A and B are shown apart, each in its own frame.
Chain A
């Protein structure tokens, strides 16, 4: 054996292919990193609808089990052309907007107070924990007495339902704000209010917004519940009426509206996140 054959990176040996007779190292990395695949969602939706359509047409799904998707679409068109769609949608959306805005605003304020002050934390965290598991719908009669049968009780129900998850998400997010950033603010003589506005709130924003996704989904559920218990117009009232008549096409048209609402809300939050949290990625 010559001295040269011991050199691990001898160019002549590498060129001659002298080291190519090993086995390749098994690849075992990758995964655990979901990537955006937008079209997959649409394919899943379209596939399920196509199966339902095909099943109801060929008869192995009876009309009593599931309405035919094309009939639901017709119902929806009628709803739109008769102008009833907006008669139901507008009050629902305004209830959702007012109730959720009130609940989320109050929730963020209380969450920040809990995050920053020991006494608020000691006093309110157990209270929030006690309120959180109450099914808010069970309190609707109470809200009707307190706020009246009209819009007031519906606003209150939605506000109350969005309040607790927002509080929990917000104070968790405030807890997670990097303390060295706050010390930095203090060391430059920033006022307390500036530190909260320019350091604590932006730092907590990712957590607050992911809490908002959950709060708003809860808001939609409560909206329908409130409207089922006493409203002339509204998506919940529409669904309740269809359900009591076993009119499955209209029931499903209403359900589709709710799903679309959920998707739209989630897309809006996504857009807000891209705008406010662009610094993250």
Chain B
């Protein structure tokens, strides 16, 4: 899965994502403030923080779903500019999974997984289908390949969404609260897929409030508040000895009493 079959501009020891002095505004509202961040290859990062702190906005900058006004973002050696060719080059290397799945309801599960292979990678149909089935198998949903997204449960849909992103064989996967729209009994099936992916060595950036997941797979946990990175540390340190008062308050709120 980590096979580097894309023509990446960088060698194996450059960071996967490099962010320097990132600032972003919505009108007058300063959402992201002086963000500096380096994500190494194969690193698994969990981003948490209160609602409205800018977590989604931050990771959506990495594939230019949001535009930043200041600072530099480099993904796999390619620096983000306004140039659409370059943005699309970056997007081919970055997979994204959304809170609300965002599957294409008019396409079958299989076609959801084939569409970017066919139209972006220009693979022949047979080959695209083979890859699609392979990844659907990995997320344990191969038997639903011919159904439409509307006929699947939330957990199944999210697993299809993960398979769809993996079909492009991205270098890094971004997850924006992948389990928060799911019923409790479906959260586990999605988390299991994510844990497996992490064990395979995929570079991952997850916005999530699943602290169990953070403890088991994360190399680093990042805490954000009001558009800033307040604290980042390995999970043991983060959960046991948080430095900042705001982190402590946040942890006490979400870990329960």
Same complex origin of A and B: no
Chain A interface residues toward B at CB < 8 A: none
